[in-house]
A and B are shown apart, each in its own frame.
Chain A
Amino acid sequence: MKLRPPGLLLIGLLLGLTAGLFYTWEVNPVQYYDTSPPLLRRPYRADWIQLVAFAQSYEANLEHAKILLCDLPPEEIQTQLAVALDKAINDGRTLLVLQRLAGLAKEYGVDNLVVQIYTGNQTAELFATPRTATTLTVTPTPRPPTLTPAPTATLDPQQFSIVPTPTPPPSPYTITATTRSCLPTPRIAISLTHRLTITTHGKEELVTRGLPGVDLWLLWTEGADHAVTGLRPAQGLGYADFQVAPEQTYNLYLNQPTGVPLATLPIQPCQTEENAWTAWLLEVAYAPTEH
């Protein structure tokens, strides 16, 4: 069969087009040397966002951070800023770093409890936690009776006063359950709850909720550690935990590291498992005393 010129032209065109596309798409494609962050591979984009966050925490410059995050997917920015803040908390970064990270996260619409705490929006709730009111009236120290040269000593009743023994107000925190388990890494965890009366459709109902923003202190012979409930919302709003060292005894305090500890918790090797240590989970209820 002999092909006519238009048929040959068409075959030539198709062959040429195929060859041209193969060359430009496979053999020698366009090279992009000058890309921008939005074109980065997903893990690199995530790293870029976290780098911007940490750099912002080093030197606060919100406008510059916004330029560097421009055109990146908003949901990725939110996720990575929250991750960066969480990481910074776990790594024990300074308050200033955490505040700047939270500020940037808030700017991008992250609105979780951690952000609220470090941007100051949760202050009211933080300090709404009752602190023990210890207003004690100090009475004058009794002076010894004045002795007169008279054969009988006279006692001036005005110079004596009976000093009432100040009894500390009962703690609003009560341990409701203590769970002792064995873990390879010893830990002390606290779940703090309080009871609230809520009104739903005109009906009052008593519910138990986690209590965030309460200071927890762990003191031992060589040091102290501090945590705040609610920084891991996934574990519960009233949850906080401490990594602790084996063969050590810890005193747990709430609000202030003074007075009688709420609990004294020894970390000992487990009898039932090898290479395992005591892990404590304390369930604590908050019930303010009414005056």
Chain B
Amino acid sequence: MKSGYWLVIGLVAGLGLGLLVGWVLVPVQYYDTDPSALHPAYRDEYLHLVARTYAVDHQLNAAQTRLRRLEATTPSAPLCELTARLIATDAPTTTITPLAWLAHDLNAATPPMAPYLTGRQP
């Protein structure tokens, strides 16, 4: 066998080993992620938390800043999407109300949210 083949075999084997180590055995560890990288279930929780916090502190700018961290097309998009999903699944009113009010105050309320916007939230 020609000596060049040994070099190619070594390269291919080394590359394979490198990919195995880099992607599987010792992958890059991300400890410093941002809310946009959260698992969808945690993203939903994040939206609930932002809306409920807004119901307590009424600080719209802070809520907007937090929603922007999800890096959606518009800050209110994930909020409206979650609210619509919860309305469609007949989730409890107490769960939907803070989300609907935040969407409303961000001028992003949709007609299905109207029933949840009767009377100001506590």
Q: Identify the A interface with B (CB < 8 A).
A: 2-6, 8-25, 29-30, 32-37, 39-42, 44, 47-48, 50-52, 54-55, 57-59, 68, 91, 93, 97
User: What 4 new A-B contacts, CB under 8 Å, besides A44-B34, A54-B56?
Assistant: A8-B4, A17-B21, A23-B19, A39-B33
B interface majority secondary structure: helix
- A124, chain B: closest CB distance, angstroms: 29
Chain B, interface size category, equals: 35 or more
Partner of A59, one of B10, B19, B37, B52: B52
Given A12-B9, A18-B14, A35 and B37 contact (CB-CB distance below 8 Å): yes
Given A12-B14, A36-B42, A55 and B53 contact (CB-CB distance below 8 Å): yes
Partner of B22, one of A24, A59, A93: A24
Separation of A74 and B94 alpha carbons in the complex (Å): 30
Establish whether residues B22 and A15, one from each chain, have CB atoms under 8 Å apart when the complex forms.
no
Given A21-B22, A29-B27, A32-B30, A13 and B13 contact (CB-CB distance below 8 Å): yes
Establish whether residues B1 and A91, one from each chain, have CB atoms under 8 Å apart when the complex forms.
no
- B19, chain A: closest CB distance, angstroms: 5
Establish whether residues B37 and A47, one from each chain, have CB atoms under 8 Å apart when the complex forms.
no
Establish whether residues B3 and A44, one from each chain, have CB atoms under 8 Å apart when the complex forms.
no
Given A12-B8, A29-B27, A58 and B98 contact (CB-CB distance below 8 Å): yes
Interface core residue of B20, B32, B66 (most chain A CB under 10 Å): B32
Separation of A68 and B48 alpha carbons in the complex (Å): 12
Closest to A57 in B: B56
Given A29-B28, A47-B66, A57-B56, A21 and B49 contact (CB-CB distance below 8 Å): no
- B8, chain A: closest CB distance, angstroms: 7
Closest to B10 in A: A12
Sample 22 A-B pairs with CB under 8 A, ordered by A number: A2-B3, A3-B3, A5-B3, A9-B10, A11-B10, A12-B13, A14-B10, A17-B18, A20-B20, A23-B19, A24-B22, A25-B22, A32-B37, A36-B42, A40-B32, A40-B33, A42-B32, A54-B57, A55-B52, A58-B55, A58-B98, A97-B56
A interface majority secondary structure: helix
Separation of A247 and B56 alpha carbons in the complex (Å): 33
Q: Identify the B interface with A (CB < 8 A).
A: 1, 3-4, 6-23, 27-28, 30-35, 37-40, 42, 45-46, 48-50, 52-53, 55-57, 66, 69, 94, 98, 122
Closest to B20 in A: A20
Separation of A23 and B11 alpha carbons in the complex (Å): 14
Establish whether residues B33 and A58, one from each chain, have CB atoms under 8 Å apart when the complex forms.
no
